[in-house]
Amino acid sequence: MAAHLKKRVYEEFSKVSQQVSLEEVPAAAKKLRLTKPSKSAALHIDLCKATSPTDALQYLLHFARKPVEAESVEGVVRILLEHYYKESDNSVRLKIASLLGLLSKTQGFAPDCIVDDAINTLNNEKSHQVLAQLLGTLLIIGTQLPDKIAVIQRLIDVACKHLSSTYFGVRNKCLQLLGCLGTVDKPLSKETDAGPGAQTSHVRDVQSVISDYFQDQDPRVRTAAIKAMLQLHERGMKIQQTIYNQACKLLSDDYEQVRSAAVQMVWVLSQLYPESIVPIPSSNEEIRLVDDSFGKICHMVSDGSWVVRVQAAKLLGSMHQVSPHFLEQTLDKKLMSDLRRKRTAHERAKELYASGEFSSGRRWADDAPKEKVDTSGVNLIDSGACGAFVHGLEDEMYEVRISAVEALCSLAQSSPSFAEKCLDFLVDMFNDEIEEVRLQSIHVLRQISTHITLREDQLDTVLAVLEDSSRDIREALHELLCYTNVSTKDCIQLALLELLKNLTKYPTDRNSVWNPILICFCPPSIQMSEVPWCSAPNPGAADYIAVLVLVFNAAKSCPTMPALFSDHTFRHYAYLRDSLSHLVPHLRVRNLPASLNKMFAKMILICVTYRDLLRLGELQTELAGSADFCATYLHCQLLLTKALQEKLWTMAVPLCLKQNAKVSTAARQILDETYKLEFLYSGLETQQIATIHNVRLQAKALQLILMARSKRGVDRVLGVCEKFLQDVESFQRLFMTELPHFQDSFVEKLLELMPRLTACKPLDLVKILQTTLRQSRFIHLKLPEQIHRASATIIEPTGESDNPLKFTSGLVVALDIDATLEHVQDPQTTVKVQVLYPDGQSHIIHPKPGDFRTPGPGRVRLITQVYLSHSAWTEACQVEVRLLLAYSSSSSKPSASKPVWNESLDGLPTSESCIEGTIHLSKPVNVFIMPKPARR
């Protein structure tokens, strides 16, 4: 090794000498060649300069921070190994062993050339810590060479050899190496068997070797053994069923980590061998393995460690093959008193509700156990599953309660009968002290709503949550009521009253209450006489609209209801159908005003026009995205056609200055519309984006022509022409596959004339553009299946208050913003708040990422504060607040894969330099403010 090192250093020295000698050659004959400095030579020089282990360690730490090229890795490894054999300090050797593993992962380097040297370092190593690190390096090398069967087998042999080490860290690494590299097709021979049973002479496989360490004296080794077995399972190897008994014994281990790994091992085996039969201890009975494992995991829900309890509860939710008998026992917490079965609180409450009686206190011990339990009929195996979820839902740790709720949801979705039985328990969780638990319980009940029907006593508990101060809780409950079935008509009346109270106490909830909740909640059997609000012609607006939406949706399923409508109800239906079409269904009624029928007929017949497309988007929310998109695209074509009329272009330039201003405004408007088309709508395909870019090029060409026709623009035409030609080349590069769809289009004609355009003068280019614009044909836009338009609605402030916000001039006042966002892509980086003051000042505020919430797919809630400040005013004035969508044209262009080092920047907001412009995302809201002069 020393001779090899000297040779490498001599070669590096020769390269440097040759470069120095070149400097002495005359300038005419001098040839320069740039070479990268050798990493291995620099490392060797540094290590040779080290006078102590501390210095050597510092040099190694400094070297680890620098990248190493793939072609230099082998040389660096040789230098490190050379120093490893000479080093006596354990910490330095430990760092060298760590660097060997780090270098083995270098992209483009094949570590099979250093396998022999890495294995040889194990022979004379006395330090247990260094030995464990070296085994970790071998594990890294093995994972880099999965196809090298011979190398893998050598590494497995090394692991088996060192399994007899007295240090737990070495045994852990060996087990980890066996789990990650071991194979079942090639058993371990008796010579390489180094486990506790090494005295046997039979041939054993990797699973039997790993399972021997399930009983190791060190809990860390026992944990590593189970995890190694699980690693074999993750790699696709089927674990032997004989492991099951050993894993079950580890469920009672004294250490938390062992029990946690054992729970996962038992669950894996229950999924692999669900129908296998296993005996019940101390009994002649047998049971399915999945039922037996279910009972054992249920028992772990009462474990002393909350981490194990969380894991056990989560795993129970995925055991869908368990027998219904065992599944139902998880909710049957049998309270024993002198071998008598005591009824649970849920059973007593249900019985009293059915009988209509409640305990008056006159009957002593009315909840005493009534039935005698037959001791011979008590099956000990049932005690594991008994009341498991009851324990989980009552656990002191909220993480366990959440896991139990989620597991109940998963099991109830596949078993309607179990869903009915767990309903009481889930409803009780609505009163949990932790908001996250309450919210998750509501979401779970929503997911199993198709299997359940709420009783009146259960509905009382559910509706009590409408008083919750958390907006998220209330909105989730509104969503739940939308899909929940109730048992009686009285439940409907009760829910309706509580919802109207909710509107009174929390007016900001009106959108959540009006939305699908009233659509699906009402059964067809409701009668108009049972809704007193419908008999009055002028009731409260909010209550009346909510009830009408409820009634009209009920009428959709009950054809006899429209006959009971009064005249003003028909008029209100026409209005609500026009203004709230996403909430009010279409009803077949004869008394509907004729004007509305004519409007629908006209909309269907001439929906291809611009005006009717906009109207179609307002009336049919499911078509709003496509209708608005088509209307905006059609508007661009109309503006472009009007701008290219012949009268303008045949006039002399000095005579058409006013027309130039109008066309310039139209061109600017077309550009703005194309940015809306590209960034305000989601679901677009490459063909639609290419069509938008074609229109944008036409608008830019129009601007270029107008600039050349003005005196001030002559000097700037050259730079704008170059930029325009770059845009054309960029179009060809980005949308090469879409060019066949652009026959006779503006961009196709430009690409055909591209050699001529790049060589001609700017004014000639302008003339060609003018001719090409007027000869280009209209490109038909083919729509994808679904297009969504990004939109935002500011809920608060409403802009209806006449009371100004007063604050001291020069200071700030906080304004609460509550808005809903629909179909906005990446809202945390694109959505901005704009504040426009009466004097023309405009401020852009960037909301914090934590201000955005996601209540449902495609919907985002923004709840933030903006701070207003201004100098003193003499009277209150309006400040305009609205939401903007920031965009950058580079964000829509196809880009190469992102480098790994840039992944950490994903969550950061977009820098201002990347933003090209903004689009109005919401309607403006006016807020009165009054800055007062400071008192002196």
- Beta-ladder partners of 239: none
CA gap 765, 756 in Å, rounded: 9
pLDDT at 5 over 60: no
pLDDT exceeds 60 at position 446: yes
Q: Which comes out higher in pLDDT, residue 462 or 27?
A: 462
pLDDT band with cut points at 50, 70 and 90 for residue 225? very high
Q: Is the bond preceding residue 797 a cis peptide, omega within 30 degrees?
A: yes
> Which has more confidence, 199 or 408?
408
Mean local confidence (pLDDT), 693-700 = 88
**What is the per-residue pLDDT across 385-398, written as a single tens digit (0 to 9) for each?**
678 888 889 899 99
CA 577 to chain centre: 36
Q: Answer yes or no: is pLDDT of 519 > 70.
A: no
Instruction: Spell 573-588 as b/e; 16+ CB within 10 A means b.
Output: bbebbeeebebbeebe
How far is it between the farthest Cα atoms of the chain? 120
pLDDT digits 0-9 by tens, 240-249 = 999 999 999 9
Question: Is the CB of residue 389 less than 8 Å from the CB of residue 420?
Answer: no
pLDDT digits (tens, 9 = 90+) for 712-729: 655 677 888 888 888 888
Please give the pLDDT value at position 64: 78
Q: What's the whole-number mean pLDDT along residues 839-867?
A: 86
Q: What is the mean pLDDT of residues 152-168?
A: 89
- Which of 174-178, 489-493, 771-775 holds the top average pLDDT? 174-178
pLDDT (0 to 100) of residue 903: 35
- Predicted local distance difference test score (pLDDT) of residue 714: 59
- 140: Cβ contacts below 8 Å, ≥ 6 apart: 101, 104, 105, 111
Mean pLDDT of 191-220: 69
pLDDT digits (tens, 9 = 90+) for 110-136: 887 888 888 888 888 888 888 998 899
Cα–Cα distance, 403 to 306 (Å, whole number) = 11
H helix runs in 735-819, sequence order = 746-752, 754-759, 762-775
- Is the confidence at residue 7, as pLDDT, over 90? no
| Mean pLDDT, rounded, of the chain | 76
- Residue 683 pLDDT: 85
> Is the confidence at residue 533, as pLDDT, over 60?
no
pLDDT of residue 500: 76
**Is pLDDT above 90 for 400?**
yes
- Residues 451, 489 contacting (CB under 8 angstroms): no
pLDDT in tens, 343-370: 544 555 556 556 555 454 545 555 555 4
Average pLDDT over residues 729-755: 84
- Distance, CA of 225 to CA of 179 (rounded, Å): 8
pLDDT at 219 over 60: yes
Question: Residue 184 has what pLDDT?
Answer: 59
The answer, yes or no, to whether residue 342 has pLDDT greater than 60, is no
What is the percentage of the chain residues whose pLDDT exceeds 90? 11
Q: How confident is the model at residue 485 (pLDDT cuts 50, 70, 90)?
A: confident
Q: Percentage of the chain surpassing pLDDT 70?
A: 73
Contact (CB, 8 A) for 168 and 220: yes
Whether 339 shows a pLDDT value over 60: the answer reads no
The model's pLDDT over 31-48, given as tens digits with 9 standing for 90+, comes to 434 344 456 666 767 677
Q: How far apart are CA 501 and CA 667, in angstroms?
A: 53
pLDDT of residue 659: 63
Residue 299 CB contacts under 8 Å (≥ 6 apart), including other chains: 251, 383, 384, 385, 388
Strands 925-932 and 805-808: parallel
Question: Which pLDDT belongs to residue 890?
Answer: 58
Lowest mean pLDDT among 304-313, 387-396, 544-553, 852-861: 544-553
Does 212 or 282 have the greater pLDDT score?
A: 212
pLDDT at 188: 58
Backbone angles phi, psi at 788, to 5 degrees: -115, 135
Residue 860 has pLDDT above 80, yes or no: yes
pLDDT for position 300? 92
Strand partners, 883: 833
Neighbour tally for 907: CB within 10 Å: 9
Task: Report whether pLDDT(516) > 60.
Answer: no
Helix (H, G, I), strand (E, B) or coil at 65: coil
Phi-psi region of 356 (alpha: psi -120 to 50; beta: other; left: phi over 0): left
- Chain segment 633-646, per-residue pLDDT in tens: 877 877 887 777 65
Element (H, E) at 273: none
Contact 314, 398 (CB under 8 A): no
